Chains A and B, each alone.
Chain A
């Protein structure tokens, strides 16, 4: 085991939990903590807690100082394997945000949510002369009420990182225990948990609250975009693998499908579109190494990944024929996820507008090319 890299060990765990692989052991395990949807869509095989157990057992749980490039690779792999757990949310978003805000980082599966909430200081500073009563607290302990919607994997997470507007204007980051919120189950197009969290006067102690700069809110946004892009990159790769396997094995008119020009033409475009996402994610990942450099490349990755989904899913399904439209084929594990992921955390139009505003606004002169080259 020790000769394998962390990535290899973790990838083996994700492979074992891959629903595509019918012989997978994890597949049959854990109906108990799997409170997941059991409809035709999704039917996640393992659950977050059991996946975390498996990762720990294999000494494959990334630590806080694991190279970000390895984390992105792992998230791609989770996308490829349709891994039923919040790896992307935990590794690429929640943990780095907590670390940046100097909050303790829990060891288990995490998720992230943001939105307007009613946040009040738990201990109102009645002596304060700044602002109306309640605008200041003797410390930063707060009480929170409200609803956070479509929270990924809330059911399977130990804790939720919440970004919201604080009581004395300015963003605040809170770390909530999953047990402090009421959960209303929901799912995305692939049957992955997207739950509603209802907070009723939840008390958050000051040591789990941080006032954060606006830049951290921006960082949360681009990190979420990059995480989704990495998942989509993995699922796109799976679409290519399944399609190539299908067109080279299925015979019609006495020849494998892959021998027909019309099939080749489409299949090549599928490969290209998937490669494009991989390259964009790779560039954003490389930029993580340089402080402050990753934001624009992460937007690019998010925009390109979301924008490529339609074409990738279209070609993969077309070349699979009717079988790909059924529950019998693992293709749906990739395509239904991609159709959801492209809209979560933004959607291509929002990313594209953000990029366009930066390109067009940037103070006269030609900023397009320098932005593209990163210098």
Chain B
């Protein structure tokens, strides 16, 4: 019996990766000294800093896996992995370009027209063009194929009507890739298409949905008969489901699925270094470190598979379930290792405040990008296909 999810050869990073990692660390040290990095948990969701993004882009670290002819870095996915894991581990503010870099860019490269590539990709790589994900709706969460947003043909293009929900950054980003129904069909996976929509176009209304902390990252995103040209269609009409599935593979497979709370663990280690540490505390730190390092190896395996063009949906689901559960477990363990009351109103960046941020964000870890229950279904389906 071939159980592909268990086939995990170790991944050896390319030699250039070592030098690259050091370059990123040197850059991060400078930024830290300048006070731009507070080592926050969940910084890829809430760390909005376009100026930081542009400094990254100047070094070629945004869109770095996009081809050079479109302004990208032409580097491999494993090199990109090294850069983004360093940024995430440091809790750097990367949310502005995160979706553009991770999925919009690669999607446009893969499915876009030549005109679309030339128009969007260089700006993405320059850190000047930010994207939102327009998939979920009020009644379409896990069951994404049930989306109600419609796109109807017009003389010069399409008219989009519907309401997207949970759209991260719709109030500050430039574009959203919207999944809409273009045709009714018996097969619920048919008749869907993707559109690139300018978030500042007329007849778009963005309405905040505040997180339980009061922070504003989510939105309703109403499309009230938005007229777009033919050139807004991404890929082929009716191919939306297949495209979205590919996009989700990118969305689910990265190191942000286990590193969201790492800055809290780093802060804890910093606290412990200043105090006498008990064997019990050492043991708990060791437990988390071992799990972290093991999950990272699995995640590297996904990156290597994607780099080699092998399908990695099942492995990605597996890493995301393990990784996002770890993000939450870490918070629980940290509380036990060094019991301190979490305080959201403490000075930003201090240990009690980081702990508060990590706790208050914890419900999201295992929901966003597809819930863990759904991911486990993908894993067992993969097992059946393999047995």
**What is the interface of chain A, defined by CB distance below 8 A to chain B?**
237, 240-241, 244-245, 248, 258, 261, 264-265, 267-269, 271-272, 274-280, 282-283, 285-286, 297, 299-301, 303-304, 307, 348-349, 351-357, 359-361, 364, 366-369, 371-373, 375
Contacts and interface: CB of A to CB of B under 8 A. Distances in A.
A276 B298 contact: yes
B202 interface: no
Nearest to A363: B273
Contact of A366 (B266, B287, B322, B383): B266
Contacts of A258: 380, 383-384
Contact of B10 (A241, A274, A282): A282
A269 B376 contact: yes
B21 interface: yes
Contacts of A267: 376, 379-380, 383
Given A300-B293, A349-B283, A356-B284, A248 B387 contact: yes
Contacts of A359: 269, 285-286, 289
B356 interface: no
Contacts of A303: 286-287, 290
Contact of A371 (B284, B289, B321): B289
Given A258-B380, A264-B380, A360-B282, A274 B294 contact: no
Contacts of B318: 268, 271-272, 275
A372 to B, nearest CB: 5
Interface string B331-371: 00000000000000000000000000000000000000000
Given A240-B6, A304-B290, A356 B282 contact: yes
A272 B378 CA distance: 12
Contacts of B321: 268-269, 272
Contacts of A272: 318, 321-322, 379
Given A276-B322, A357-B282, A372-B292, 13 more contacts: A237-B6, A272-B318, A275-B6, A279-B8, A279-B10, A282-B10, A301-B294, A304-B290, A351-B290, A356-B284, A357-B277, A360-B269, A368-B266
Given A272-B321, A279-B8, A364-B273, A304 B282 contact: no
Contacts of B383: 244, 258, 267, 271
18 contacts: A241-B3, A244-B1, A244-B387, A258-B383, A268-B321, A271-B380, A275-B322, A276-B295, A276-B322, A279-B294, A282-B9, A285-B10, A300-B293, A353-B283, A359-B289, A364-B273, A367-B269, A373-B21
B59 to A, nearest CB: 19
B18 to A, nearest CB: 6
Nearest to A371: B289
B91 to A, nearest CB: 11
> How would you classify the secondary structure of chain A's contact residues: helix, strand, loop or mixed?
helix
Interface in B268-308: 269-270, 272-273, 277, 279, 281-287, 289-298, 301
B266 to A, nearest CB: 5
A275 B5 contact: yes
Interface in B234-272: 262, 265-266, 269-270, 272
Given A268-B318, A303-B290, A353-B282, A360 B277 contact: yes
Contact of B301 (A240, A279, A300, A372): A279
Interface in B69-94: 85, 89
B377 interface: yes
Given A237-B3, A271-B379, A372-B289, A280 B269 contact: no
A261 B294 CA distance: 27
